[in-house]
Amino acid sequence: MGTALLVLLLLALCGFIAYIGDLLGRRLGKKRLSVFGLRPKHTAILLTVVTGVLIAGFTFCAALVTLPWFRQVVTQGERLAAQNRDLHRANAEQTRQNDQLRSEADRRKDENTRLAGENTQLVTESRELKTASAKLKTENQGLASKNATLTRSNDELGKQAEALRLERKTLESRNADLMKTQQRLAADNRRLRLEQTALQSRQYVFRKGEQIDVRPLPPNPPEDVLRSAVDNVIDLARRKTRDRGVGPEAAILLVSPAGEARIDEARLKKWIVARAAPLRGRRVAVDAVAAENCAPGTPIKLRFRIYANERVFEANEVLAQREVNGANDDETVFGQLLSLFKLQVGPRMRAAEMPTGADGAYDFGYGPILDAWTKVKQIGGPALVKARAKKDIFKSGPFSLELEVSPVTISRTGL
């Protein structure tokens, strides 16, 4: 209705403007007016156009003021048109979604119908299963009673089997202990036979207490030096065992410092390092001695020691002396010189706690004794023999001794 009224209003306005313009043009043309220096004809055209514009503007403003719907069309026409297009598109989308929802609803309705049929079938099957379950429950009760009886029987059998297993385990443990004892006794018997043979033939390759090797070290040796000293002693012991026919190079057993149990090299080195701590600021020596007699074919047991390597005798110090008569027979002179070492020098070294050789004796060597014997025999009469230290002697050795022989005019011993 509003659109038709607007069209009628525009048509009427156009007709009115045409009428007024024609009327005004004829009258102004007759008056032959001139404005702005224009010719009368152009002045009439100008005034006609201005009049039409004013009439159209006045009419448009009046409609804009008096007609709200016209004002809305003028001021919001483009926005409303765009909004209308958006609403059309949204309506189309909503329509499409409604179609999809209706299709989904139809599909779900069909699905519900199918599920209702399946549910009915499941209800029927459930009643059948309840009947079967009741029957199975009755059977299970009977089986439970039988199972309880079997369980009690099985428990009794299990207890009997456990008792038999424990008894067998105990027997196996005893058997293993007996086998170990038998093996140990067999090894001990072999070792005892070898030692018995060695005792009978006096053929020990290493004797108990015999020093295998010694490594003197300066004060405060580092840990790596101590460990290296242990390695060097073990290497030398392996070479000695191989040279003396004890067995292969691995025929070495390291025993604890007390000599009772076996230990490995890592524990031995740790013990050596720990024992070196209280000896700080003092010379030390690391040595290894045979823990027991070693017969051919048996491994040697090494016992390591570390001690303060103190100086026990100074250079040129006289350890012992005695008079020997060169006029006596050779055996007597040699025995007197030998007793000088065994009865005088040896006890002094033992009192200084110097390590001994095999069987607790000191091996001085026969070279100095033979040289002194020759000099005494050359004198042919009473001679004074002094055992003198060639240089400073430390607790670890070696025994750097020399025999000094000088003639005497009057024998104080009567020999």
User: Are 263 and 322 contained in the same domain?
Assistant: no
Same domain, 319 and 277: no
Both 215 and 305 in one domain: the answer is yes
Flag whether 326 is in a domain.
yes
pLDDT tops 70 at residue 23: yes
Of the chain, the percentage scoring pLDDT greater than 90 comes to: 1
Do residues 243 and 281 both lie within one domain? yes
Question: What's the pLDDT score for residue 360?
Answer: 56
Note the pLDDT of residue 198: 42
The domain boundary residue, chosen from 51, 66, 81: 66
Count of domains observed in the chain: 3
Q: Which of 184-188, 312-316, 322-326, 367-371 is the least confident region?
A: 184-188
What's the confidence (pLDDT) of residue 358?
53
pLDDT tens string 246-276 = 655 446 778 766 655 677 888 888 888 888 8
**Same domain? 29 vs 11:** yes
Q: Is the pLDDT at 7 greater than 70, yes or no?
A: no
Instruction: Tell me: do 303 and 328 sit in the same domain.
Output: no
| Interval 342-363: pLDDT, tens | 888 888 888 887 776 655 566 6
Find out whether 289 and 301 touch, Cβ atoms under 8 Å: no
Separation between Cα atoms, residue 90 and residue 340, nearest integer Å: 132
Confidence at 143, pLDDT banded by 50, 70, 90: confident
DSSP letter for each residue of 233-286:
HHHHHHHHHHHTTSSSTT-EEEB-TTSSSB--HHHHHHHHHHHHGGGTTS-EEE
Residue 202 has pLDDT above 50, yes or no: no
Segment 365-376, tens digit of pLDDT: 677 888 888 888
What integer best gives the mean pLDDT of the chain?
79
- 45 falls within a domain: yes
Quote the pTM value. 0.44
Amino acid 251: pLDDT: 64
257: Cβ–Cβ under 8 A, 6 or more apart, which residues?
A: 271, 303, 304, 305
C-alpha dist (Å) from residue 268 to 57, 124, 216, 405: 123, 85, 18, 47
pLDDT at 312: 87
The reported pLDDT for the residue numbered 292 is 79
Residue 303 covered by a domain: yes
Burial 205-224 (b: 16+ CB within 10 A, else e): bbbbbbbbbbbbbeeebeee
* 227 and 290 assigned to the same domain: yes
> 300 and 217 in one domain?
yes
pLDDT > 80? residue 409: no
Residue 305: domain span:
211-309
